[in-house]
A and B are shown apart, each in its own frame.
Chain A
Amino acid sequence: MTLARAEQASRRYGDVLALDRVDLEVRAGELVGLLGPNGAGKSTLMNLLVGLRRPSSGRVELFGRDPRDPASRRQIGVTPQETGLPGTLRVGEVVDFVSAHYPDPVPRAELLDRFGLADLARRQTGGLSGGQRRRLAVALAFVGRPRLVLLDEPTTGLDVAARHTLWDAIRAFHDDGGTVLLSSHYLEEVEALAHRVVVIGQGRVLADDTVEAVRGIVGVRRVSLIADNLPDLPGVVRTERVDGRLHLLTTDADELVRALVTAQTPFTDLEVRPTSLEEAFLAITSGEATSKDVPAGADRPTTAAAGGRPTTV
């Protein structure tokens, strides 16, 4: 069953096209990560799905209805931006306020306990630490026993321990059958939580697949070696020098190594490794900027480009 859907949804702010014909389906029981840099359109897509904004064209649906219809939002949970909590209200009051909007809310004590906030019920939210505020903000998404939660960058600004506490809560919700759509620019977060990744860049869906497949699609490899000077090499997305070692991100490691050898470049200690999602992701989005017509979906990884033409993605 599809809980949330966008169909060819576009959203324009004046001259800026923030979302460009986006298709997305979130089915019951999924944990989907929405990945993209700032300004990619993640928040705009979230805002369309929770009914804060209307698409300029196309359609969005929650449980088969218009998200702008309050009834369609009864089974979702949303996180406020942590800076937006009313500073003078106490933690317990904020929870009670949100609870009042739902027919069968989670009891306050139980909710606060689940998010490690039980001792803070009497504190004003303005006096909480950043991590505590964020935990409260995320907790609010779960008050109404939602079937689908939409979390926009839930762990931004959290330390590692706090992030893991939140991850555990999100996983527990998912293990109980809940559906999650979470946006992040922490790639580690999406890798740790999500089963399915939707990569968004410049308002478009660049990839929509499993975490492994997204890596495979791009086929970015990290070639690292020690060398003084390098000739022009094909398909290099990014170059870094760390402690005298050169790290080259390439869409075609085979071709790159072949070019290195052909040019008779002196090098030592060659390594070719698969990349992290972050690196894969960088490759897709930077590719978006340079070449419009190379589909990110082509499976290119291990085949050398025909005719040895340098490939840039």
Chain B
Amino acid sequence: MQLALVHARYQLLEIIRIPVAVFGSAFFPAAAMIFFVVPFAGDDAVGATYATASMVTFSVMSANIFQYGVGVAEDRDQPWNPYTRTLPAGPAPRFAGRVLAGLALTYLSLIPVVVIGATLTAAQVTPAAFLLALGTVAVISVPFTLMGLAIGYSLPSKAAIVVAQVLFLPLAFGGGLLSAPGDAPGFIETIAPYLPTRGAAELMWAAVADYDVEPLAVIMLGVWVVLLAALAGWAYRRDEGRRFS
């Protein structure tokens, strides 16, 4: 555990030394807040709260898909990675450190969205709901972390960047993150429950406001977690087998 923290600390250091990398995952949701949420839903307390929660979900998704998808794929190209395997620790602390660092960065990338939501819109949240939302962020990070890991361990870094970019917008739109709950265009309402982004958004909405989650979307989120965990596990073992067996 001690070592996992050490690994997390140095991975964070590596990322923070290139601040643009952190900026990247925070930028798009923050920009979407400013361009879409503030002008259209900014004055409506309920709408703005939902919209901010949606953007938080968006941020969680893009931060995780990118930092694991691209980060893991890039690390696999580096000879430093096998070197760490010769230290007397094995792969577990590095992996755990990566997940801890990923979670820390996810929270960091949420700051602009939350700050914009709090200062430029009428969004409101009770302290208890805020804490609940913080916990929910960790929960909904799980499917997107697994998705990122699946991408990162199965693809070379150049392909991983493309796949991550191709995935994140359809997931955001298709999950109905850019519209109020129940207010998305018809076909999106139809497909949204089957995408992991929707289940995640439902949980966020329920955390910050009086919202009844749609069971189908949450069940599907569970299905996604199982599927993505299997995929990530398969990709990880395949990669280990190719490089370390």
Contact = CB atoms under 8 A, between A and B. Distances in A.
Contact of A101 (B79, B81, B88): B88
Interface residues of A, number: 27
A73 B89 CA distance: 8
B2 to A, nearest CB: 8
A30 interface: no
A89 B83 contact: no
Interface in A90-133: 93, 97-98, 100-102, 124
Contacts of A84: 78-83
Interface stretch (A19-27, A75-83, A305-313): A75-83
A84 B2 CA distance: 24
A172 interface: no
B13 A93 contact: yes
Interface stretch (A50-58, A218-226, A258-266, A280-288): A50-58
Interface residues of B, number: 22
A52 B90 CA distance: 10
B14 interface: yes
A97 B6 contact: yes
A70 interface: yes
Contacts of A294: none
B87 A98 contact: yes
Contacts of A97: 6, 10
B14 A88 contact: yes
Interface string B227-245: 0000000000000000011
B14 A70 contact: no
A246 to B, nearest CB: 44
Given A80-B79, A81-B79, A84-B83, A89 B13 contact: yes
Interface string B82-121: 1101111110000000000000000000000000000000
Contact of B79 (A71, A73, A76, A83): A83
| Residue among B14, B88, B90 having the largest count of chain A Cβ atoms under 10 Å | B88
A83 B90 CA distance: 22
Given A54-B245, A70-B90, A88-B17, A93 B79 contact: no
B86 A73 contact: yes
B14 A52 contact: no
A89 B79 contact: no
A100 B93 CA distance: 12
B102 to A, nearest CB: 17
B3 interface: yes
A208 B194 CA distance: 64
Interface in B195-245: 244-245
Interface of B: 2-3, 6, 10, 13-14, 17-18, 78-83, 85-90, 244-245
19 contacts: A52-B82, A52-B244, A54-B245, A70-B87, A70-B88, A78-B86, A83-B79, A84-B78, A84-B81, A84-B82, A88-B14, A89-B10, A89-B14, A93-B13, A97-B6, A101-B87, A101-B88, A102-B88, A124-B17
